[in-house]
Structure 1
């Protein structure tokens, strides 16, 4: 019996330490990163490849030149690849982190990222899910640069429409539910969505032309999320018309127009919030006129790490839940757990 237990333990240890192969997308990111190493763009020992977002057809990564093999917010990699004297560290949205001792062994790192401070995002990589399309660009230097302002990445966002005079993109989407509700834990996702009052967030607008453009509408139905025969309309909070100068961009708040029937029907889906998220990603349209011309167009969505799901608040604005998409790991929980570990390690010395 003791020998059997020993075999089981050894088998678990071997399997637990074995890395899964790189996906097709990761192989493209690996190849692009190796080119950066070969060209002398990476000065430090570690290259942190942080998955910023996943759309319906593309992935976006940041490439950081780092003294330590974890993200700046202390998320651990799921895979580490050695190349020459560097270590390529993949921090993924939908893959579990390595154990810390496993990461230390694979990366030959025994420092503390709360002491080692050099971490600089130098590049961004966009890759299609098939791996056939890719782009490598320098990361913007300005801290105030909006992600939607990086036009080279637009083709890697859901809903991108080439040559559209005004490009629009969903920046955030949160849910407000009616106050005073009680929830059954076993069906909380369905109940929350059925009890939704409205959806609210921010919308990005960018004039792509050399001339002034004017956005207008004769109704409050500025945008539509279409689910077969059902439609949820979104309305910009600023009064129309909205005028944008040549190549000017702005971010404006929006709210959904009340439609309880839409939410109640959505709540019948097996994964209602994931289904709703995919509608934002794939089925959001603008109905506004551009310079008095009717121009129904898709709205961009890039699936950022910060909005991979929904923040749920009540009518008083109190945060109640953060609902993540299926298969996406809770980054806030990761960061809190890892921060505590590294801090305890630092203070124990």
Structure 2
């Protein structure tokens, strides 16, 4: 196992700077997920750590050792790709043990490591099969097994689940998380799927245009996004943004929309915010629920809503209504609303709402 430290990393392709001055410190044994939209630089960063791409500037340390000049095989990392890259003429055991055989490891040790990895991944009954005889999830387990047997200092995953259907992705996410708990090795995982990032990571590193937009524990990014980009990327359904102005007064602050004034709970500090400042009020669906009591509890605001659209999911329904002309989505219980056009009272939890400066799109 080893920590990873990246200082001032750049990766350029001609005039294009794909990774722009990344500083990142990953602790020993941590599961870090690099997430972001296509083209944000996350896979380039991962491949540069692996040595498959040469850094244009900056340093990469693994276990306290600068590895910029090391070949990929000398960095002691194992990579699992989106494409399983299994040898079709080899059975599962042969595929898992191929790297060890290439390193001229004794056969009895190879067999033991292959069997240990197969037990860990639940594929001992598949060792004699060939890749063409396996499902997508089974092939992915074999690819992971091939990485496990090497006992590397770091595991690198480059969107390994993107070729699987939704049910298999759910299953494999659990397998990968369980694997990390068992072997406690440093893992760096790339995905564009925010659900994978939230469920797998000890720490999320959210990238945008080659830089780190925000990093931290999953719930920190979800509940305290640093910008509208972070707030909009994490969460499904995504956050609603309502344009308004910040009014500061002796009796408390409020966000004023076109016609509605929504008070901000007492005790909430808005850093460097000015009276009359143009802001965006960010509301996640789970912050907006159907009213249950005679009056709203402290920190909540009640609103009479006319439901425009209902999206039932089984255990709950997502209902869209207009708040001063801006569509807002509420998370309701399954039978809270029955048809579009129905009028209900909803409560907005302003204690969990986000407020952003409209010009900079940074959190206040």
TM norm structure 1: 0.29
